[in-house]
Structures are given as structure tokens and as C-alpha cells.
Amino acid sequence: MKRALVVLVAILALAVVSFPTMLSASAATGDRTVDLTMKCGNALCHATWQWSQGGTILGSGFLSGNEGTTTGTTIQPAAADTVAIQLSVSDCRLSRGETFSPGHSINITEKIDTTGCVESFNMKS
């Protein structure tokens, strides 16, 4: 019984020491939280993105919304040096790639504004 109690205390002590490390994993790796804002006109619109470094895909995501503003968050991998963004609303599409220095903050805005198609998308870390 005494040995089981010692093992239990050791496990709990390890969990207490490890827990803060698990919580700060993204801070330790340099990953950044990115705020997303998408504004749609009178139709359903979508934004997709793909993070990469030197052509190697590191992650991706999407956001969809109706009329008005839709917000969300994503993670910018610390090693990323490029984000490819695709916007679509009605029959209109826009694809752009933006490059930046790995680990640095970004503030990227892309827009579609043609007859029948209105959408803007912002990523800011």
C-alpha cells in the first residue's frame, strides 16, 4: 500500500511538472495565433489557406460564411514562409500566395470586388 502511494505521488508530481510545458508548446515552437476576418456580400463565401516552407506543406484550413462578417483563428507554423490563399464567392475566385520571413507576424488582406462578387479576407498574427 505504501509503495502504491509513493508511485501515485510520483505520477502526480510528474503531471504537475509536465502540464505547464504542454500548455506552452505553441509558444515554445514559435507558432503564432492568427485572427481571421472574412466579410461576405450577399452570398455564401469561402476562404482556404495553406501554410508552407520551401514548398513543403505545413498546414491548412478554411473558413466559410454568409452575408456579413465571419471570424475565426488558425495557427501560423513558426517555420512557414508562405501562405497560399484562395477566396471564392458565387462564380468568382481569387488565388494568391504571400511570402514572409519565418516566425514573423503577418497582416494580409485579399479582396474580390466585381459585379455580383464581394468578399474580403484578412489574416493577422
Residue with more model confidence, 9 or 30: 30
DSSP label of 43: S
The pTM of this model reads 0.74
Q: What pLDDT shows up at residue 122?
A: 93
Residue type, 1: M
Distance CA 4, CA 34 (A): 46
Domain spans, the chain: 1-30, 31-124
pLDDT digits (tens, 9 = 90+) for 16-60: 333 333 333 444 568 999 999 999 988 889 999 999 999 999 999
Band (pLDDT 50/70/90 cuts) for residue 117 is confident
Distance CA 54, CA 80 (A): 8
Q: What pLDDT shows up at residue 28?
A: 52
Residue with more model confidence, 115 or 94: 94
Whether 87 and 45 have beta carbons less than 8 Å apart is answered as yes
Q: Which CATH architecture has domain 31-124?
A: Sandwich (2.60)
pLDDT digits (tens, 9 = 90+) for 60-111: 999 999 889 999 999 999 999 999 999 999 889 999 999 999 999 999 999 9
Q: For residue 4, which phi and psi values (nearest 5 degrees)?
A: -65, -40
